[in-house]
């Protein structure tokens, strides 16, 4: 597809890449299963204020964050975290919150990187227009109410993903569940590296060397953003790889090990000779 054609309304070029990269651009075909399903992502980010007011969260409000109140019962972020906890079999809400955070970050990066590499443009993912069903399985089910093309350069991609989504999501998860911000930005970096790597692999498998080059270049440029600087080491050869300086806490899930880009070579407290120390 030529880069000067802009975005088609259905973002059809994303479909061959698979579930993590696809973005639906229509409303869901049936009514949501729950009152708090099918929520704009803006609700997930803003709900921390209502939660703090209703539950006495000791973390309080963050300076400079707009005061937006939504009903406590309509809480898509907490619903998702609890769903992830059940799926993982963990009683540690902090672990589930970290995994949920990284899963949503992976979807946002995948969609935006793929659009930038394939179209040369990205859709504006306004959190008020980008909807999310927290009761869906993985990968997260997202749909966009209106496709508004923007340039596909690194600065715009950073604004679309980091500024509009991952900054407020990180603030919400940190405030509500006590997950360290450094860990959460490590999640964001890990998700970016993973999306870039999968897009690069797909493009090379299909002889799309131009797309592969753009994906690798854009990923590297985004890692220079101040919010991601210091999260880990990105290498570009022989393929995109990343070693983070934090841990997403997945090793604390019963029976799990560490992820491939973890700062740990094996789960803390596990002897070096223990089987299954590396996973994820």
Where residue 27 falls among pLDDT bands split at 50, 70, 90? low
**pLDDT tier at 137 (50, 70, 90 boundaries)?**
confident
pLDDT exceeds cutoff 70 at 85: yes
Q: What is the pLDDT of residues 246-267, one digit of tens each?
A: 999 989 999 888 898 888 878 8
- Select from 84, 112, 134 the least CA-distant residue to 191: 112
Residue 66 · residue 172 · CB < 8 Å: no
- The structure tokens listed for 195 are 């999306």
Cβ burial 158-185 (10 Å sphere, 16+ → b, else e): bebbbebbbbbbbbbbbbbbebeeebbb
Contact status, residue 227 vs residue 185, Cβ threshold 8 Å = yes
Per-domain residue ranges of the chain = 3-232
| pLDDT digit string, tens, across residues 143-192 | 999 999 999 999 999 999 999 999 999 999 999 999 999 999 999 999 99
> What pTM was computed for the model?
0.84
Instruction: Please give the Cα distance from 97 to 9 (Å, whole number).
Output: 33
Q: Which of 52-61, 205-214, 223-232 has the lowest mean pLDDT?
A: 52-61
């Amino acid at each position: 597809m030529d880069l000067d054609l802009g975005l088609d309304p259905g973002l059809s070029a994303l479909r061959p890449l698979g579930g993590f990269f696809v973005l639906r651009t229509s409303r869901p075909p049936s009514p949501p299963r729950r009152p708090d399903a099918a929520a704009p992502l803006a609700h997930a980010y803003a709900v921390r204020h209502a939660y703090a007011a209703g539950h006495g969260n000791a973390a309080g409000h963050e300076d400079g964050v707009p005061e937006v109140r939504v009903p406590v019962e309509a809480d898509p972020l907490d619903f998702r975290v609890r769903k992830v906890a059940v799926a993982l079999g963990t009683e540690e809400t902090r672990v589930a919150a970290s995994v949920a955070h990284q899963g949503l970050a992976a979807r946002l990066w995948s969609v935006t990187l793929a659009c930038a590499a394939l179209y040369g443009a990205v859709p504006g993912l306004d959190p008020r227009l980008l909807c999310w069903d927290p009761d869906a399985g993985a990968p997260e089910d997202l749909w966009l109410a209106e496709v508004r093309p923007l340039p596909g350069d690194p600065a715009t991609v950073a604004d679309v993903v980091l500024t509009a989504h991952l900054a407020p999501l990180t603030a919400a998860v940190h405030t509500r569940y006590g997950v360290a911000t450094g860990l959460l930005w490590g999640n964001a970096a890990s998700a970016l590296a993973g999306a870039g790597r999968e897009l690069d692999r797909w493009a090379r498998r299909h002889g799309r060397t131009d797309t592969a080059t753009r994906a690798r270049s854009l990923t590297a440029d985004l890692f220079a953003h101040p919010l991601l600087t210091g999260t880990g080491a990105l290498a570009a050869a022989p393929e995109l790889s990343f070693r983070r300086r934090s841990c997403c806490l997945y090793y604390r899930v019963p029976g799990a090990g560490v992820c491939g880009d973890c700062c740990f070579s094996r789960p803390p407290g596990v002897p070096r000779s223990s089987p299954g120390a590396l996973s994820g």
